[in-house]
Structure 1
């Protein structure tokens, strides 16, 4: 049986308003996920009282990245009756935690990100992704709002960073885009994504992203689940990152 997993990811576009916080809490409780990732909180600080107001008492494991003025802000939460945090790494645009399941299975690492909007910091953000890869051992999954899809040049660099880190995308089922400017005609963009390395994919081999609906943001929340469905055989697909794996050329030569 596939290992159970349920992760909620959402860009909340600010949590400074009481009504907004109540809506976010109701949505989180409805989703009943064991891990919650929130981006663009716009909170310059997070007290225990404010955190409980936003998420309730179920998520007693938590880490936050404060906003820079009114920009950014990331919040990562997990249930301590499901996971124990073995390590925590908070950087300029990300939070990374290595989680040990209480059921005795092996630990794995999750990173949630909120990428910078401005051009000068995007290259530093991509370099940070590669540096994180070099410091993480074992199954790794990274998700969030990367803020790179509006520029083809930066998307190409983003893909190069993913290939260097041996990461590939977890499929989004039932929807191609996660944001719309709600104009006529609309601009439709995929800003929110999830990626994983091979170790993580082998462990959660039925993982997929499901789009959700809610009324407190112009972004589409994503629910990542490992639903236990056994994968059927599929056609061969060459992954670009394979060529960066040690021993790739030897395997090709032998074949």
Structure 2
């Protein structure tokens, strides 16, 4: 089961829904956590735009005015909800992965801009964790950093970080190494960077999926990076081509490979660029073999 998260900074734009669906399809997401919908009454028709034609369920928290708002949406054929807890800053959804007798607790989080409110939320989540058992996964915009190096060109709040790290330690949470972007938030003037978005998991979650991968993508539709947590292996199909040592001695081999690698790909995603170039190299090698 794969998970995604983004602080979308307003769920009204059609382009944002299109990008969400693209991420869901590309990364085979079964659960998508969205923060800052900025809607007081997010209608079913607007929610439906964020998913494809497959069966889905959702849970939401309305924004206060134009501030906040949460939406959790998931594949109803893969994850079955059994319990829900929510307030203005998080949606907790407990259920089971279809075919597995494992309780999974997924928490979609939007940390308040108020330091006091965030500290209250840490205590609320710890209290809930003591009463709801299962494999815990928390993802979203925590609005807090853990270490000075998680901020660039902005002030580090040592007191806030201390409380946040205490919450993580007391809750027994861990983080996967994050690939892609080092910082997940870019300020409007383009000068300040912070790692505000993250994924926290409990011991048992990490033990079940020790090789899961976490990726922070480029900020295309928001000033926050989408996060992708992949626990299942994605199949990228057969290898583009086989390589034999004898090919290196063929006349014109180097030029043929270089021609394929020089092919143009407009994608913003490095894996797609690499796959396109491999395909181009394969086609050029076929042409060389036919001469």
TM-score range normalised by the length of the shorter chain: 0.7 to 0.9
Match of 1:189 in 2: 194
SS of the residue 2:46 aligns to: helix
Match of 1:162 in 2: 168
In structure 2, distance between residues paired with 1:47 and 1:66: 10
Of residues 42-51 and 174-183 in structure 1, the stretch that sits farther from structure 2 once superposed is 174-183
Task: Extract structure 1 runs of 4+ deviating beyond 4 A.
Answer: none
Q: CA deviation at 1:145?
A: 0.3
CA deviation map 1:128-187 (0-9, x unaligned): 221222122121111110012352211110111111111122221243211122657x32
- Specify whether residues 44 and 57 from structure 1 end up closer, same or farther in structure 2 by C-alpha distance, changes over 3 A only: farther
The answer as to whether partners of 2:4 and 2:32 remain within 8 angstroms in 1 is: yes
The TM-score, its normalising length taken from structure 1, stands at 0.80
1:93 aligns with 2:89: yes
Please, which runs of 5 or more residues in structure 2 have no aligned partner? 146-155, 235-291
CA deviation map 1:166-210 (0-9, x unaligned): 1122221243211122657x3221000111111111111112211
The answer as to whether partners of 1:88 and 1:97 remain within 8 angstroms in 2 is: yes
Q: CA deviation at 1:59?
A: 5.2
1:81 aligns with 2:86: no
Of residues 12-21 and 95-104 in structure 1, the stretch that sits farther from structure 2 once superposed is 12-21
The answer as to whether partners of 2:181 and 2:217 remain within 8 angstroms in 1 is: no
SS of the residue 1:55 aligns to: coil
Please, which runs of 5 or more residues in structure 1 have no aligned partner? 230-255
Relative CO higher for 1 or 2, CA cutoff 8 Å, sep ≥ 6?
A: 1
- Specify whether residues 30 and 129 from structure 1 end up closer, same or farther in structure 2 by C-alpha distance, changes over 3 A only: same
The answer as to whether partners of 2:23 and 2:29 remain within 8 angstroms in 1 is: no
The TM-score, its normalising length taken from structure 2, stands at 0.71
The answer as to whether partners of 1:10 and 1:144 remain within 8 angstroms in 2 is: yes
Match of 1:178 in 2: 184
The answer as to whether partners of 1:24 and 1:54 remain within 8 angstroms in 2 is: yes
In structure 1, distance between residues paired with 2:197 and 2:103: 25
CA deviation map 1:65-101 (0-9, x unaligned): 1111111111111111111111111123111111211
SS of the residue 2:82 aligns to: strand
Of residues 70-79 and 220-229 in structure 1, the stretch that sits farther from structure 2 once superposed is 220-229
Match of 2:102 among 85, 102, 106: 106
Match of 1:44 among 35, 40, 43: 40
Between Structure 1 and Structure 2, whose CA radius of gyration is higher?
2
Match of 1:206 in 2: 211
Match of 2:229 in 1: 224
1:148 aligns with 2:144: yes
In structure 1, distance between residues paired with 2:98 and 2:73: 16
In structure 1, distance between residues paired with 2:212 and 2:164: 22
